Amino acid sequence: MSRCENHPQAPALLACSLARFFALACLALCSVACDSSAIPTSQGTGKPIERGALLLLASDYRSTNVSVRTATLELLTGSLFSTGSRAAGLSYALSGDVAISSEPLATGADVALLDRYGTNVVTYVNPRTGLVRAQLAVGTGFESNPQDILPWNDSKAFISRYGVDPQPGDAPFDGGSDLIVVDPRVPAIVGRIPFVDKAGVPARPSALTRHGEHAVVTLQRLSHDFSAALDGELALVSGESLEVEHVLPLPNLRNCGKAVFSQGSKLAIACSGLFDSQTTRFGKEGAAIIVATLETTGVVIEERWNAASLNVSPAGHVAWLGETTLVFDSYGSGQTGDALYTLHRGDPSAREIYRARKPFAIGALRCSYGAFTRCLATVSEPSLLIDIAGDLLHHSATATEHSAADITGLPLRDLGIFGVTTP
C-alpha cells in the first residue's frame, strides 16, 4: 500500500496509506492511543512454529502488538513483540505503522517486521524465543517508507522502498523508489536496484511476489504529490543477477496491488484506481481486476472486470480459490462496510460473500498455497478473521467469521501465514 507522506498530518498518522487515507486518518485521530504499559511482556511461543500458524498484527496506528496463533486460532503468545517492548539493545521501538511480508512466512526463520513511514526499520524477531535478533535501518538518510519484504534465501531478501529521496547521493544506497537487497544474516543492505522515473513520475514499488526465479514488483506510478497517476507496471527482477530484466505495462490500470499467481501460473491483480480527495472516493478509471498470462514480452490479459461494469470498487487485494475462482475485497463508503466478493472466470458479475460492519475495515487478504492452502482476511472492527473456503464444484465460496480479538484491545489489521517449512 502507498503511504500519505505528503499529507500535513503525516508525522502523526504514520500508518496512513494513500488508498485508505481519509478513513485511516479519522481512525488515528479519533482513537485513544493504547497505553503501552498495559501490553504484557513480550515472549515467544516456547515451541516450534508449525505450518498454518498465524502471525497477527493489531494496531490503532499509534500502538502495535504482534501475536501468534495456531491454525485453529489457539493463542501461542499474546505479545511476541509490541510498541511496549523494551528489550535490551533495542534501538527502535515499534511504531504504529508496521507491516508483515505479503508472502507466506517460513516456520524456521525469524519474523521480519517492517516499520514504515517515520521509522524505516526492519526488526528481526525469533517467534519461538521472542528475542529480537537485530534491527536494520533502511531509510539511508530519507523517508524511504518501506512497503514489502520478500525473503529469497538465507542470505538474500528484497525490500521495496516507496519514498523518493529529494537529495540523493548523500548516503550509500539512497535514492528511493527502488528495491534494496538485504543480507538478513548480518543484517545489512548489500545492494540497490533502482527504477527509472517516467515523465517525472516515480515508479513507487510496492508489493513483491516471488514467481520462479523472478521477483515480481508492482510499480504504482503515482506522482510526487499523489494527485496523478500513470498506468501501473510490473517489473521482473532476477533473483540471481539482481537486474531489472523486464518492465511490463498494465494498460489502463492504476494503483494496483500485489500480483498473485494460481498454481497453473495464471496472474491476477486488482487495481483500485486513483483516490479523489475532493469526493473521498476512488475513481472508476483504471480500476479493475484482471486475469492474465505473464510473458517476458508483456502482460497478456485474458479477462478483465472493470469497476464500472461490476459496480464495485476493488481495494487492491485478490486471491485464487482454485484455478477458475477469485476472491477480492472492495471499499465501503459512508454507512456501507467493506466487502469480499468472488469472481468466476467466464462470468461478468461478482458475488458478495461477506460484508463488514464498517468501511475501511478489511485490512489484509492473505493466502498460502501448495500442500497447505488457506485464505484469510482481517477485519478491524470488531477484530475478526474471515476464513474463506472455495467450493470448486459449484464455483462458489463461503466466508466464516472467527473472533480474533487482540489481548491489548487493539484492532486487527494484518496477518502472515506460516506456509513455508525451513530447517
Residue 216 lies in a domain: yes
pLDDT in tens, 319-339: 999 899 999 999 998 889 999
Domain count, the chain: 1
Question: Does 142 reside within a domain?
Answer: yes
d(CA 208, CA 23): 25
Residue 10 is assigned to a structural domain of this protein? no
Domain annotation covers residue 11: no
Alpha-carbon separation of residue 24 from 30, 110, 208, 361, 388 (angstroms): 10, 29, 23, 9, 25
Distance separating the N- and C-terminal Cα atoms of the chain: 32
380 and 413 in contact (C-beta within 8 Å)? yes
CATH assignment of the domain containing 147: 2.130.10.10
Structural domain harbouring 67 = 21-420
- Specify the DSSP class assigned to residue 338: P
15 within some domain? no
Q: What is the pLDDT along the chain (423 residues), one digit of tens a residue?
A: 333 333 323 333 333 344 333 333 334 333 333 444 456 678 999 999 999 999 999 999 999 999 999 999 999 999 999 988 876 667 888 899 999 999 999 999 999 999 998 899 999 999 999 999 999 999 999 999 999 999 999 999 999 999 999 999 999 999 999 999 999 999 999 999 999 999 999 999 999 999 999 999 999 999 999 888 999 999 999 999 999 999 999 999 999 999 999 989 999 999 999 887 776 678 789 999 999 999 989 999 999 999 999 999 899 999 999 899 999 999 998 889 999 999 999 999 999 999 999 999 999 999 887 656 789 999 999 999 999 998 766 667 899 999 999 999 999 999 999 988 664
Cell numbers for 8, please give them: 500535513
Which residue blocks in 304-363 are alpha helix, DSSP H? Answer: 307-310
